[in-house]
Chains A and B, each alone.
Chain A
């Protein structure tokens, strides 16, 4: 069975600083990987996805993620964080039955 680990429960960065959120997955085959963002009281918004091909994928809101098979990682990055990026971020892997398995999430706080 697949699993996702997000080692950082909470990250705090200053506005304008760079950001990297970590995600490690466990899956037997080539994974389909996703990052979602959840603002308070809102649903899950898809930031980006990796299915195949280029291991560096671009998403919305200036986010990108890099798939590293050798490290079983799919870390999310942003060069310059904005205050509106404060939210909870979830990494997910899609299994063979197409259900998503989510990590526990990383809460991002942005300081002014």
Chain B
């Protein structure tokens, strides 16, 4: 059983639409991360989030992306206007501390049409 629950497991969206991917950690951890894996490519870091703030983001994480933890539990990744190249598996991870191992959810497969 994953230590992080991600919803939905699969999201199909028209290009240009907004999507919100959700992550619910089972335990009360403070460090959260989003990664993506385009089919056949490496897992890539997107953003890290601590204490309700972005602590680090990659070049991929441009203005189309945002993260928040609106209710102190769910951790969301929003893509404002999706592009075809956003099609990928998106993984949420959580950690108990800054140098603790990251534990991943099963991912959300995002398909942009």
Contacts and interface: CB of A to CB of B under 8 A. Distances in A.
Interface stretch (B13-21, B76-84, B94-102): B94-102
A43 B42 contact: no
A90 interface: yes
B27 interface: no
B33 A46 contact: no
A32 B91 contact: no
B101 A98 contact: no
Contact of B58 (A45, A46, A99): A99
B56 A43 contact: no
A34 B48 CA distance: 18
Given A98-B99, A99-B56, A100-B35, A43 B105 contact: yes
Nearest to B46: A99
B55 A97 contact: yes
Contacts of B55: 97-98
A99 B103 contact: no
